[in-house]
Amino acid sequence: MPPRLNPSPTTTCATASWRTCSTSAGCRPWIDIWGPSGRTRSSSGSTRTCRTSTRRRSPTARRRGPAPSSTRMDTAPLDSTGLPAPGEQEAEHPWYAVWTRSRHEQVVREQLERKQVETFLPTITRWSRWKDRRKKIAWPLFPGYCFARFDPEHRLGILRCTGVVSIVSFDGEPAPIAPQEIDGIRRLVDTDLLYDPCPLIREGMMVEVVHGPLRGVVGRLVRKGSHARLVLSVDLIGQAVSVEVDAADVKAY
């Protein structure tokens, strides 16, 4: 029989799995063995089973949030600018004319593009004379206007842009532009053709000559064949005379 170990009280045995002895009578190494029936302690070949009490933790009730609302949003969510969030805008919105302050067309377009609004600003190349040189610049084809496609219900975000005066409207509602009109101008500016802005003058309108020997003369514009003619009349006697003019030399009176 091996000699009994007599360590002093509260002396720790050499093996990590041995327990601390707290009796003065000495201790034997106890080895904890876990099995199906619980924990078994072994000392010098003898074994005994210890029942250990286990404490079950009560399950914590899982909190549930409120049931999702079944309300459907009919309009796209708005961001801090008053416009629909990026990616929420629809492509079928019509085009509108945004009236801008003088020389603010480019500024307005850049602001609208940052707000994910589709814009169209047609330009024409012109020579600009600087102090010591000439330089080509892109000048707005229609000064004071920038075209944009957006939902009219969210026009507040458009009006908040710096340089915007208003949106061209009829009876208080933004007036849409026919898509074929915008498409025609876009196709023109994408070509290499030479084009110039001109006032919209319809046949029968009163016009004023701005260039040439008849400068300052006011008459009625008519068309004869493929040429435009200026009609000068004396209404009292019911007589008139016409002369051929270039449409670029007249403006609406």
pLDDT of residue 113: 96
Q: Among 135, 163, 189, identify where a domain stops.
A: 189
Domain count, the chain: 3
Note whether residue 224 is domain-resident. yes
What does the CA dihedral 131, 136, 140, 141 come to, rounded to 10 degrees? 130
pLDDT of residue 84: 60
Residues in the chain: 253
Note whether residue 170 is domain-resident. yes
**121, 162: one domain:** yes
Note whether residue 55 is domain-resident. no
pLDDT tens for the chain, residues 1 to 253: 555 544 444 444 444 444 444 444 455 555 555 555 555 555 544 444 444 444 455 444 454 545 444 434 344 455 555 666 555 544 589 999 999 999 999 999 999 999 999 999 999 988 877 777 788 888 999 999 999 999 999 999 999 999 999 999 999 999 999 999 999 999 999 999 888 887 778 888 999 999 889 999 999 999 877 688 999 999 888 899 999 988 778 888 8
pLDDT of residue 41: 53
**158, 100: one domain:** yes
**99, 163: one domain:** yes
**214, 180: one domain:** no
**178, 217: one domain:** no
Q: Among 164, 189, 214, identify where a domain stops.
A: 189
CB atoms under 10 Å from CB of 234, counted, come to 9
**By residue range, what is the domain housing residue 184?**
95-189
Note whether residue 198 is domain-resident. no
Note whether residue 229 is domain-resident. yes
Indicate the pairing of strand 46-50 with strand 11-12.
unpaired
Residues 6 or more apart whose CB falls under 8 angstroms from that of 181 comprise none
pLDDT of residue 201: 80
Note whether residue 213 is domain-resident. yes
CB atoms under 10 Å from CB of 168, counted, come to 14
